[in-house]
Structure 1
Amino acid sequence: MNSRLAPVLERIDTDLDATLDRLMTFLRIPSISTDPANKADCQAAAEWLAAELTSLGADAEVCATPGHPMVMGKIGSGGPHLLFYGHYDVQPVDPLTLWDHDPFAPFIEERAQGKVIRGRGASDDKGQLMTFVEACRAWIAENGTLPCTITFFFEGEEESGSPSLIPFMKANKDRLAADLALICDTSMVAPGVPSICSQLRGMLKDEFTLTGPTIDLHSGHYGGPALNPLREISKIISTFHDEAGRVTIKDFYDGVHEVPDDILRQWQGCGFDEADYLSGIGMTKAHGEAAYSTLEQQWARPTLEINGLWGGYQGPGTKTVIPAEAHCKITCRLVGDQDPDAIRKNLRAHVESRLPVDAKVTWNQDLDGSPAAVMNTDRAEFEAARQALSDEWDREAVFAGMGGSIPIAGYFTTILGLDSMLVGFADDDDRIHSPNEKYGLKNFHKGIRSWARILDAVSKA
C-alpha cells in the first residue's frame, strides 16, 4: 500500500463515529420527492449536501429546477476528472404501520448478522452517496487534496421519475463534462462480494385494450355467440412465450449477446445462492429460459412480462356478464443492443395479427422505452477499480450484471458521451422502497474505504 493511501484508510477507521453522526443527520431529513408536502424537506436536504461539499473545499451550489433542486460541486484540478452521481431523495414510507420505528429517526440496530443502520434512505441512496463523500473527506484531511478532480452531481427527483434531469443535463453539459462517471446506487451480488456493474437491462412499457361488444352483455342471452374479450386476450398472451420460456415476438432476440466466458466464470464463483434466492419468494426452480442459469436469466437475458391483466366484473360475488373490454399491461427488460422501438412495433404486430373477427385493439401511446446499458469494462479504470475492491474485501471482486434499470447511466452516455462505472455496497435484503429499510454498518464502513482505494487506483490507471 502506498504512503498516501494508508493514512486515508486509517482516518476513515478513526473517524467512523463522526461519519455516522453526519449520515444520521442526513437521514433525519424526510426528503420524499414524490410528495408535495415534502418540498421544503427536499430543499433542506439539497442545502445540507451543498454545505457538506463546501466544508470539503468544493465550489458547491444548489441549482434550482422546475422541480426539486440539483446539487453540484467541484474540487481538485489534477489527475483524471471523475463525475460522481447520487440522489438525495427517498421513497415514501407508506404503509407507516409496517415500520417498527419512525422511518426518519435512524439508529444502529444490533443483529446476529452484524450491526445495521435503520431508516428510510439508509441504503437507497443517502448511505451509498455518503460513502463517496466521506472517502473524499478522508483523502483531503490526510493529503490536502484529492488524487483526481471530482465533480459531484446529486439529484432530488430520482424516486419520482426524474422529470428535471434530462433538461438540466442538456443545459449544463459543460459543467458536467468529465472523463468517467461514477454511480453508487447498486448492490453487491452476494453478502461480502464486491461488485462492479457490467450491464443494466433496458425497459420497454406497453399497454393495450381489446374491445369486443359495444357494452357488457348478459351471459345468458349472449354467452356462446358473443366474442369474449377476456378469453381472446388470454389466447393472445399465451402465444408470447414457447414451452422453453423463450419470447416468440418476431426478431425479439436481435441484438442479444451471449455472456463472455470470462464473465460467466466470475458469476459462477461469486457466491450467489440460487436456492436461497428462489426459496425467499416461494419458488423451487427458475421459470425463465430453460437453457440459461438463474443469474443469466436475471442479468443477461431479455424478458417479456405480463404486469397486469383485467376486465369484467371485479366486485364481490358473481355478475354474469361478458365484458366489453379486456386490458393488458406489459413490460420488457432489454439487454445488449435490443432496440425498444423495433420490439414495440413487432409486439404490436404480433397482437394485431391474432385478433379475431369483431375484435379491435387500442394501444397506450404515452409509454416509453429505453435501451440497455453495457459498461465499457475494457477501460483500464475498471480493472483498477476491481483490484482495489478485491484488496479491500479480501476476495475477488466481480463484474456483475443487474436485472434492473438505472436510466442515468444511459443518459451519461447519450447526453454527455461518458462511460459509467457503477459500484454499490447494498445487500439484496436491505428492504429498499419497503418498510424497515436498512444498510449494513460494515457495508457503509468498507464502502468508504473502497472508494478511497478506487480513487487512488483510478488516478493511476
Structure 2
Amino acid sequence: MIFNPMKLFYFALFCGIALPTSAQSQDVDDALRKTLLLHKELVSIPNLPEDEASMLKNINWVADYYQKLDFKTTLLPSSTLPLLLAEKVFNPKFKTVLFYFHIDGQPANKANWDQENPFTPVLKKQDSAGNWQNLDWHALDSKIDDEWRIFARAAADDKAPIIMFLAALEQLDAQNKKPNFNIKVIFDPEEEYGSSALLSTLPINKERYASDYFIVMDGPAHDSNKPTVTFGCRGIVTCSITTYGASLPQHSGHYGNYVPNPIFSLAKLLSTMKDDKGYVLIKDYYKGINLSPEITDILKSIPYDSVALNSQLGIFTSEKIGNNYQEALQYPSLNIRQIGTSWSGENLKTVVPEFAKADLDVRLVSETEAQIQLEKIRTHIVKQGYYVIDHDPTAEERATHPKIAKFIANEGINAFRTDLDSPFGKTISNSLSKAFKEEPIKIRMMGGTVPIVPVINALNIPTLIIPMVNMDNNQHSPNENIRIGNMRQGIQICLALLQTNL
C-alpha cells in the first residue's frame, strides 16, 4: 500500500483529528499550491466568446477534470457556443443541487494592465508603499501568504470559483467521501455578453436543469472577506432619451441665441427626475417597497463604515436613498451612464448640436418590473410637456410640437430575491456557521445583475448566490485579481456546501 500524505491530511480534516502544527501547515499549503497551479493553467487560456477555439479549449479543460471525477459531461448546443453540463448522481434518494458558473470573461485592453499579457497570470505581493511586485511562481513552494494575489483577466470572475469548487470535489473524492446531494453544474460560455447561449437552451433543456435547489457561484463576497450568502440580485433595464434642436447642426456664431440647444433641454428634463439627495422624483418610482423593522435590522447589522467607503470612493457624501449602503440597494436606481450629441469627433466644433442623447440604466428590485418602471419614466417625460416618440421626428412633427423627445426602451432583466428566512437559506447559512464558527454575512440584494434571472424564474426553485472572491478584485477592469486568502477560504466554503444535509 502506498502512503499518501495528502489523504492523511484530508482524513484528519474531515474527522476533526488534530495534526502536528508544522505538518498541518505544510499539507494545507501543498493542497493549496496544487489548486493555485490548476487555477494558473485554466486562467492562461483566453476566454473571450468571439474566439470560439479558445472557448472550446476552456470548456474541454473543465470537462476533462469533471470526467476524472466520474461526472457525466454533455455539450448542449445553443444559439452560439455550446453549453457544458456536468452531472453526477451520488444517491437516487438525495436532493439535487444545480450549480452555476460562467466560463467566459470580459475583453482586456493590454495597454491599461500592469503586465504584458492580461491572459498570462502573474503572482504578486504588495510592498510597504502599496505597489504590487511580481513574484516568481516558485514562491508557492514555501509558505503561501494569504495576501498574495494572482493578476489576470478572469482570475476572479469567474475562474477562481470554478477552481475552488473543483478542488473541493477532488478533496472529497480523495477521502472516498460523497456530497450529501446529487450535483448538476452549468458552465455558461457567454455570461459577460448576456447569457444568450444559456437562455437559448431553456426551451429544449429545461428538464435537464431541473433540480431542487440552485446555487450561483459568482460575484464578490462582502468586503470583510467573511463567508457571504446573497439572497438576490438587482435586475437591469436600459433606455435612452433624445431631445432635438434644428434638423442639422448649426454654426454657433450665426445661430447662437436663435436655434434652441437640445443639450439645455435635455439637462432641464433630466434635472426633474432626481433631487439633490438622489431621490427619484418620478411618480410611484419606489411604489411597493416597504422595509420591515426586521429587514431593516438585518441590513443594519451588515458591517459598514460610511467614512471609509466614501473615502475609498472619493466622494464627500452619499446619496440619501436608505440609511446605509445595504438599504440603498433595496430600491430601484436611476443612472445616467452617458450623454452625447450629434458631434462625436475628436476635436470640438463651434456648433449648436442637432440633438442631445442620454443613455440611462435602471437597477431593479423584486418589487419593480422592467417594463412598468420604464413606463413610469416615459410618463414623466410626457408630463414635462414633451411629445414622446420612438423615432427621429419628421419635418411635420418638428413644425407641430415645441418639445420633442425620442424614448427608446429595452427589454431588461428583472431582479430575483429569495426570502432571508427561507428554509434553504437557513440551511446553507447554518452549514457555513458550523464550518467557520461564526454567522456568514447575509446580503439581501446584491447590487449587480446576473443575466440568468430568466433561468432562475423558469426553474422556479430556491436560489442563492454564494460569492467567494475579494470585493476589490477589479472585476471587468484592468488588473483583475484574486486574493490567495479568498481561494483558500473558498475551498472551505465549497466543502461546507457539499457536506450540507438538504
Common fold by TM > 0.5: yes
Instruction: Give the Cα separation in 2 of the matches to 1:428 and 1:102.
Output: 23
Instruction: Give the Cα separation in 2 of the matches to 1:288 and 1:310.
Output: 28
Which of the numbers 224, 233, 245 marks the counterpart of 2:266? 233
Instruction: Give the Cα separation in 1 of the matches to 2:68 and 2:207.
Output: 24
1:287 matches 2:287 = no
Aligned twin of 1:370: 413
Aligned twin of 2:31: 15
Tell me how far 1:313 sits from its aligned partner: 4.8
Amino acid at match of 2:451: P
Tell me how far 1:273 sits from its aligned partner: 2.9
Structure 1 unaligned runs (5+)? Answer: none
Which of the numbers 42, 52, 68 marks the counterpart of 2:81? 68
Amino acid at match of 1:378: D
Q: 1:368 to 1:249 in 2, by over 3 A?
A: same
Which of the numbers 476, 481, 493 marks the counterpart of 1:450? 493
Instruction: Give the Cα separation in 2 of the matches to 1:293 and 1:303.
Output: 15
SS of 1:247's equivalent in the other structure is coil
Q: 1:257 to 1:143 in 2, by over 3 A?
A: farther
Tell me how far 1:52 sits from its aligned partner: 0.7
Q: 1:141 to 1:76 in 2, by over 3 A?
A: farther
Q: 1:270 to 1:253 in 2, by over 3 A?
A: closer
Tell me how far 1:20 sits from its aligned partner: 2.1
Tell me how far 1:154 sits from its aligned partner: 0.5
SS of 1:16's equivalent in the other structure is helix
Q: 1:262 to 1:143 in 2, by over 3 A?
A: farther
Report if the CA contact (8 A) 2:339-2:358 is conserved.
Answer: yes
Amino acid at match of 1:344: L
Q: 1:63 to 1:336 in 2, by over 3 A?
A: closer
Tell me how far 1:211 sits from its aligned partner: 1.8
Taking only aligned residues, the RMSD between alpha carbons, in angstroms, comes to 2.5
Instruction: Give the Cα separation in 2 of the matches to 1:316 and 1:455.
Output: 55
Instruction: Give the Cα separation in 1 of the matches to 2:376 and 2:75.
Output: 44
Aligned twin of 1:296: 327
Tell me how far 1:178 sits from its aligned partner: 0.3
Instruction: Give the Cα separation in 2 of the matches to 1:5 and 1:379.
Output: 30
Q: Provide the aligned length of Structure 1 versus Structure 2.
A: 449
My pick for the range that moved more, 356-365 or 167-176, is: 356-365
Matches within 5 A, 1:110-259: 110-111=125-126, 114-258=147-291
Larger Rg: 2
Structure 2 unaligned runs (5+)? Answer: 1-10, 18-23, 128-145, 387-400
Tell me how far 1:399 sits from its aligned partner: 1.3
Q: 1:153 to 1:8 in 2, by over 3 A?
A: farther
**Post-superposition CA distance 1:384-418 (Å, at most 9, x none):** 2223323444432121131111121x223322122
Report if the CA contact (8 A) 1:304-1:332 is conserved.
Answer: yes
Instruction: Give the Cα separation in 1 of the matches to 2:257 and 2:151.
Output: 58
Report if the CA contact (8 A) 1:392-1:446 is conserved.
Answer: no
Q: 1:348 to 1:206 in 2, by over 3 A?
A: same
Runs of 4+ displaced beyond 4 Å: 7-14, 312-318
Report if the CA contact (8 A) 1:12-1:138 is conserved.
Answer: no
Amino acid at match of 1:84: F
SS of 1:172's equivalent in the other structure is helix
SS of 2:338's equivalent in the other structure is strand
What percent identity do the matched residue pairs reach?
Answer: 25
1:6 matches 2:14 = yes
**Post-superposition CA distance 1:403-446 (Å, at most 9, x none):** 111121x2233221222111111122111112221111111111
Q: 1:104 to 1:226 in 2, by over 3 A?
A: closer
Amino acid at match of 2:283: K
Aligned twin of 2:353: 323
My pick for the range that moved more, 185-194 or 316-325, is: 316-325
Report if the CA contact (8 A) 2:243-2:404 is conserved.
Answer: yes
Amino acid at match of 1:89: D
**Post-superposition CA distance 1:110-165 (Å, at most 9, x none):** 33671222222111001112212221222222134322100011011112222212
SS of 1:407's equivalent in the other structure is coil
Tell me how far 1:296 sits from its aligned partner: 1.7
SS of 2:472's equivalent in the other structure is coil
Tell me how far 1:97 sits from its aligned partner: 4.5
Instruction: Give the Cα separation in 1 of the matches to 2:248 and 2:34.
Output: 66
Q: 1:23 to 1:114 in 2, by over 3 A?
A: same
Tell me how far 1:185 sits from its aligned partner: 0.5
Report if the CA contact (8 A) 1:192-1:393 is conserved.
Answer: no
